[in-house]
A and B are shown apart, each in its own frame.
Chain A
């Protein structure tokens, strides 16, 4: 089952940074945090993942707290096309590396 909790929805103005939080207080030391997003009626799209250190790629940045109990996905300059449901997932290392999806955060980017 999902080991993460996220706010149900968030709004963000176009061009501004979108900061999406995620709590994963029961995460184990060797479990990675992954972020995906799903645009309506499509398969989830990979965004970024990390273990301990902060990570950045062309899409986003991932900030993981030192105790690893929470993380924040940052979309630096949100566009209308970033409107989607964002899922924070902890890969269950001891359970065949399965991905269990939580309820996710619906990000609404507004003009």
Chain B
């Protein structure tokens, strides 16, 4: 089945630094990937849609200059949290679909736990 890999699984960084999270589709090509953020005891919140070869589209209220998304190939999307602050500490999850319209659902990565100190 489809596998989505996220790296790293956890990261601790100092306030003011930037952190990059990778999302890879291991056995399929994904023209579209999605990034989510999840705070403790809350549901997943969609942050942005990552499109291969074009600019990402962000959900309302998500700062595009804060959360930089690059989808340079059909198997890799990256999320960079720039100038991270403690309030950015969260669980970040990506997802992708084998088909363009996701009719068979999306496969999710295992998530990245970001802690900003």
Chain A residues bordering chain B, tally (CB within 8 A): 22
A45-B108, A46-B107 given; A101·B101 CB < 8 A: no
CB distance from B51 to the nearest CB of A (A): 9
Which residues 52-109 in A have Cβ within 8 Å of B in the complex? 87, 91, 96-104
Q: Is the CB of A32 within 8 A of B91?
A: no
Since A38-B44, A45-B108, A46-B107 are in contact, a sample of 16 more A-B pairs with Cβ atoms closer than 8 Å, ordered by chain A residue number, is A34-B105, A42-B111, A44-B93, A87-B43, A91-B102, A96-B49, A96-B57, A97-B32, A97-B97, A97-B101, A97-B102, A98-B46, A99-B46, A100-B46, A101-B36, A104-B43
Q: Is the interface of B mostly helix, strand, loop or mixed?
A: strand
Q: B interface vs A, CB < 8 Å?
A: 4, 6, 32, 34, 36, 43-46, 49, 57, 91, 93, 95, 97, 101-111, 113
A44-B44, A98-B46, A99-B34 given; A49·B110 CB < 8 A: no
Which residue of chain B lies nearest to A104 when distances are taken between CB atoms in the complex?
A: B43
Cα–Cα distance between A42 and B91 once the two chains are bound (Å): 9
Q: Is the interface of A mostly helix, strand, loop or mixed?
A: loop
Please name all residues of chain A whose beta carbon is closer than 8 Å to the beta carbon of B109 when the two chains form the complex: 43
Task: Specify which of B46, B103, B104, B111 is in contact with A43 (CB 8 Å cutoff).
Answer: B111
Cα–Cα distance between A87 and B105 once the two chains are bound (Å): 13
Please name all residues of chain B whose beta carbon is closer than 8 Å to the beta carbon of A103 when the two chains form the complex: 43
Q: Is the CB of A101 within 8 A of B49?
A: no
Cα–Cα distance between A97 and B111 once the two chains are bound (Å): 21
CB distance from A67 to the nearest CB of B (A): 22
> 9 closest Cβ contacts across the A-B interface?
A43-B108, A101-B44, A97-B102, A101-B43, A44-B108, A43-B110, A46-B105, A43-B111, A97-B101
Task: Specify which of B36, B43, B106 is in contact with A102 (CB 8 Å cutoff).
Answer: B43
Which residue of chain B lies nearest to A2 when distances are taken between CB atoms in the complex?
A: B43
Instruction: Show 15 residue pairs from A and B whose CB-CB distance is below 8 angstroms, ordered by the A residue.
Output: A32-B103, A42-B110, A43-B108, A43-B111, A44-B95, A46-B107, A49-B104, A96-B32, A97-B32, A99-B34, A99-B106, A100-B46, A101-B43, A102-B43, A103-B43
